[in-house]
């Protein structure tokens, strides 16, 4: 059977892959989006804090903070019906264990032009002054992943992107002078398609496709993470709290469930492993299936109560489990750059990882629209 030809094939139906596919299809390219799961935006794009980063979270990485500050308004404007802003977000700066002081945090916000305001006295009194140096109010929101999925699916359809769910990319290889063959499995059937350009946007499974295709392994760190869904204390029902910058916690509204997420720098990761050049680490999906999933919520809430005592009244409902992937260098300064590897071992085959939804705007501007990427591979 002859493999079906496309101008662009995007592997991975998360927010990055779907956004990329929509963008290139609007430019006139016949585009195919492949997603191994049953839904678009069904994994890391949905199982996270849903924070629309406005820069505040990255005082140790000026560039990451600045790009978030620039991109957040664009994301909010473009996806307005997906934004949840019916809460007040407070950032508390740790007095001990923090990597930045309150003065350093405020200077960072000034540098990236991110507005902050002093939290009201009644809010400041909720925090333990022994451990918290300052509390500020910031305009930072969350998004509704269910609404975002609906919006993305509509945009894909309007752009004419062919979407195949339950289609797993097994391997890629050269096909002729300027094509790349992608071998697929859908259920028990295998087939293949050919693209002039192929983008690997599979996030935590990026190196699985590389290894199966004999392509270079990208150094990555993976963490099996737990995001607790909780009922917040009544005083924080319409609030979000982020304590930083160190081994602290965040509690933010999670619109799809009408609950809050509770995450902790120390206790959200349950285990970790790495992919290194020449070798792929553990299979993240297999880890998720086998892991006993004993919740760290008691540890999270006990530690959170040291900084915000009323967190003792927080009640767990359930937990969301997923594999989180970052570049090793992000461990040093908490930066969140886009990974883009052009012609990754194969002309016309590119791989992309982004860690935040707002990164997608930088991807489209600096990665996808580069002439050397969008021209046919030779």
> What pLDDT shows up at residue 376?
47
| φ/ψ of residue 3, rounded to 5 | -70, 135
pLDDT, one tens digit for every residue, the chain (378 residues): 578 999 999 999 999 999 999 999 999 999 999 999 999 999 999 999 999 999 999 999 999 999 999 999 999 999 999 999 999 999 999 999 999 999 999 999 999 999 999 999 999 999 999 999 999 999 999 999 999 999 999 999 999 999 999 999 999 999 988 899 999 999 999 999 999 999 999 999 999 999 999 999 999 999 999 999 999 999 999 999 999 999 999 999 999 999 999 999 999 999 999 999 989 999 999 999 999 999 999 999 999 999 999 999 999 999 999 999 988 877 767 777 788 899 999 999 999 998 788 888 888 876 666 665 655 444
> What pLDDT shows up at residue 73?
95
> What pLDDT shows up at residue 367?
66
N-term to C-term CA, the chain: 25
Beta bridge pairs of residue 142: 51, 84
- Find the angle CA(263)-CA(267)-CA(272) to the nearest 5 degrees: 110
* Predicted TM-score (pTM) above 0.85: yes
> Closest by alpha carbon to 244, among 165, 138, 325, 365?
138
Q: Quick one: DSSP state of residue 174?
A: E
> What pLDDT shows up at residue 334?
72
> What pLDDT shows up at residue 1?
59
Task: Answer for the pair 314, 230: CB distance below 8 angstroms, yes or no.
Answer: yes
Task: Answer for the pair 190, 2: CB distance below 8 angstroms, yes or no.
Answer: no
Helix axes 62-78, 102-111, angle to 10 degrees: 60
Task: Give the whole-angstrom CA distance, residue 136 versus residue 340.
Answer: 35
> What pLDDT shows up at residue 377?
42
């Amino acid at each position: 059977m002859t493999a079906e030809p496309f101008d662009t094939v995007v592997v991975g139906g998360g927010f990055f892959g779907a956004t990329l596919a929509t963008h290139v299809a609007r430019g006139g390219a016949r585009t195919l989006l492949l997603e191994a799961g049953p839904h678009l935006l069904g994994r890391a794009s949905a199982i996270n804090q849903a924070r629309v980063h406005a820069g505040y979270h990255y005082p140790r990485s000026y560039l990451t903070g600045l790009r978030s500050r620039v991109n957040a308004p664009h994301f909010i404007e473009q996806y307005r019906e997906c934004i949840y802003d019916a809460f007040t977000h407070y950032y508390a700066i740790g007095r001990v264990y923090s990597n930045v002081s309150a003065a350093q945090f405020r200077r960072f916000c000034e540098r990236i032009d991110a507005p902050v305001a002093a939290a009201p006295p009644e809010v400041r009194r909720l925090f333990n002054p022994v451990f918290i140096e300052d509390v500020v109010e910031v305009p930072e929101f969350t998004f509704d992943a269910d609404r975002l999925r609906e919006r993305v699916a509509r945009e894909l359809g309007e752009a004419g992107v062919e979407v195949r769910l339950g289609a797993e990319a097994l391997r890629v290889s050269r096909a002729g002078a300027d094509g790349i063959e992608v071998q697929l499995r859908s259920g028990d059937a295998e087939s293949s398609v050919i693209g002039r350009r192929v983008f690997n946007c599979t996030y935590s499974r990026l190196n699985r496709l590389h290894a199966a295709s004999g392509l270079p392994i990208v150094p990555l760190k993976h963490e099996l993470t737990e995001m607790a869904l909780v009922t917040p204390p009544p005083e924080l029902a319409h609030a979000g709290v982020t304590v930083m910058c160190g081994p602290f916690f965040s509690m933010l509204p999670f619109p799809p469930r009408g609950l809050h997420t509770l995450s902790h720098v120390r206790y959200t990761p349950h285990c970790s492993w790495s992919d290194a050049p020449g070798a792929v680490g553990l299979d993240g999906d297999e880890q998720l299936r086998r892991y006993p999933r004993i919740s760290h919520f008691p540890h999270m809430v006990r530690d959170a109560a040291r900084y915000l005592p009323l967190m003792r009244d927080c009640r767990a409902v359930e937990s969301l489990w997923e594999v989180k992937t970052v570049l090793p260098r992000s461990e040093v300064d908490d930066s969140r750059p886009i990974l883009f590897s052009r012609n990754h071992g194969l002309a016309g085959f590119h791989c992309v990882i982004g860690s935040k939804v707002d990164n997608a705007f930088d991807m489209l501007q600096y990665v996808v629209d580069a002439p050397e990427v969008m021209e046919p591979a030779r």
